[in-house]
Structure 1
Amino acid sequence: AIVMEKPMALSLAEAREVSTLASEAGVQLIVSHQHKYGAHWRHVKELIDRGELGEIRTIHLTSKGWMAQYATHLIDYGLWLAGSPDILWATGHASGWNLLEPSHPSPNYFWGQLALANDVRLLIECGPSAPDQPGYRQPKTFSLDFWMNAGATVVGTKGEANVVVGRGWSAVTSQSGVIGSNDVAFDGVNDTVGLYKELANTLLAGSDTHSCRAVVALRGYEALVAICRSTVNRQTVPLPLSDSSEAIGQLQAILNPAN
């Protein structure tokens, strides 16, 4: 097995090639989207799965961390919370160029919407201009609070739930009223241990069902590329994508004032 960091590649063509090569070689390829092993994310997922939030309408995912740092995390967790339906189409917007130079080049602000086959909409916002999560107020850039200022708000017909990477979870439902806990937060060690425990179990069972397997991560990466294409072309982009043409680099090019 191979466990790799996110994003899984620098282009959709690379991501598809890596996924195909691993599959043909019989190697489990795992992308480290480990946040969903945290207890606070699991609590919200359980509320959704047992129907306590009713019919899910929207999942709003945000991060102060920018697109290349956080977007595939957010898309992965949004699809997981929504029950992993097909993605029908994507649309997006981006602005700003100050963050194009670091190791994870990104627009200052990135917004995307994904329409899912089960009528759920995922809304994704990344970058310093994204909204603060509850308990945070414009933390200093690059501080620990800056990176922990991320999460998801799930809105259903019978309730609403919020999970914050660095500050626990909360919910209001017609069944349970106000519930939640600030005692759980992202744990870089234990949450990653959960990922490796699942990998050990799938290897021992000879199965390819890991929650972070390449085919799952590839869907999220493809969705990110579709949002970037929408931003560049100013059109709604249907999924799955029929080709692997570049989009993230084109987005960087149109945002850079030097071009």
Structure 2
Amino acid sequence: MDKVKTWYITDASKGIGRMLAKKLLDSGHNVAAVNWSMEDISDTASGKLLPLSVDLNDEDAISESLYRAHTTFGAIDVVLNNAAYAIGGSIEELSSMEIMHSLNVNLLATIRVIQNVLPYLRQQRSGHIINISAISGFSSGAPLPLYTAAKYAVNGISEALAQDVAALGIKVSIVTPGEFNTDMQDETAMPFAAKAIADYKNTRKRQQQQFVFERMRQGDYDKVTEALLKISSHPNPPLYLFLGNDAHSKARNKIRGLSQILEQWKDITHSIDYEIGA
């Protein structure tokens, strides 16, 4: 086994977060698990577990949890920002409160964790921040505007962060899965905006169909966790890691489409440059 590492995982209560935490513990690693479910805890006795109850909207709570993790294990090696939440509805239907709740979980919580863990990683001159995004945050196709917007922002922040911390020995990766059951909600139906506008009934229908489709898919969490373990132990992990054939195909098509647009409109693009001596 590679050297024992300490992971800090947001939302280790279900899905990828929980399965990864159990695999890490079974392999002897340390895990600070945010909102860990205490069921079957005996299955993870071979590793060191620090269960944490953290409101990811509360910066003080995040700061305290990271302090506890660092104090308990002496280091924080890998941070996995995994928490996610999706709400259906058109942009016009969503209330300010619904918008803020979605952004808090999908974007602002990630930023808060990054800001509060960086002092420890800078001091160590090491560490790996892994932010879970989605293919819809790279090639918009999923009909969830807030979730898509948040994941686009996560990508942008991660790219900027990677440049900020590269000289400090800190790595950043954006993991971009395709479509599979992410367990973002335990309910059998997606939550929708409280306000419903008749003109968007087809939008809601399409969103619900997509939600049901993803819940029916048997995403191979075991393979996802193996992929995360591989990049966490790599000396030069990728900035972007696309997971799944659909994610690869959509990303490739997006890049190809952008390249075509750049070439098609390059004359206008270059026409605004300042001409020396003009």
Fold equivalence (TM over 0.5): no
Q: Which has the larger radius of gyration?
A: 2
Normalising to structure 2: TM-score of the pair? 0.24
Structure number with greater CO (CA < 8 Å, separation at least 6) is: 1
